[in-house]
Amino acid sequence: MALIDSRIDFNAFEISLKNKPSEMLVISPKGTVPVLMIGDKVIDESIDIMIWAYKNGNSTQYSNFEKKLIDIGLELISKNDNEFKVCLDKYKYSINYPSITNDDLRNSCLFFLDILEEKLENTLYLLSDRVSFSDIAIMPFIRQFANVDISYFLSLKHIKVQKWLHELINSELFIKAMIKPR
């Protein structure tokens, strides 16, 4: 989404994680996706790919943000990656945690939805009224959370998060990004 949003032309290759191609492992031995290669340069962390895209592409959103907003955005992403994702993975793979109830697993994720709901109190998106790198980085994980049990997600009091996710899922940017590479 960040590459498309920054109007960077790129070729995408779908990777089977069960059968990673040697071409990928040669350039990035850690074997995770996504990996971006630009000439000889390899970037293999999604947040670094996003930052590279916004700094090198044609989107002005990243450079237009004041430093304060960029820092707030990066802090939110770090909470998502380091705290929310841990709870989300347990909720998604609850079968591996038979001693914890499903209610407890999903309740432990709600702290992050509370934070997002508060962020969306005065703006349409997380940092401002425009979609930003923060929305793009966090939205796939909230979508995963929602999809575990959509009726539970829609029953939550987090009305603004629900609307935010709906807007992003139906955005041109997300629809474009979801087109499978050939």
Residue 17 in contact with ligand GSH, rule: CB under 6 A: yes
In the complex with ligand GSH, the residue whose CB is nearer, 33 or 42, is 33
Closest distance to ligand GSH from the beta carbon of 52 (Å) = 12
What residue type is assigned to position 167 of the chain? E
| Buried/exposed 144-178: b ≥16 CB within 10 Å, e otherwise | ebbebeeeebeeeebebbbebbeebeebeebeebe
Q: Looking at beta carbons only, is 24 or 115 nearer to ligand GSH?
A: 24
Return the residue of 12, 21, 25, 31 that touches ligand GSH, per CB under 6 A: 31
Q: How far is the CB of 33 from ligand GSH (least distance, A)?
A: 4
Choose the binding region for ligand GSH from 27-35, 104-112, 119-127, 170-178 (rule: CB under 6 A): 27-35
* Residue 112 Cβ vs ligand GSH, minimum distance, rounded to whole Å: 17
Q: Residue 65 corresponds to which tokens in the numbers above? A: 């943000």
Q: Does 60 help bind ligand GSH (rule: CB under 6 A)?
A: no
Rounded to an integer, what distance in angstroms lies between the CA atom of residue 180 and that of residue 26?
24
Beta bridge pairs of residue 41: 38
Alpha carbons 101 and 132: distance in angstroms, whole number = 35
The SS3 assignment for 24 reads: helix
| Sites of contact with ligand GSH (CB under 6 A) | 17, 31-33, 45-46
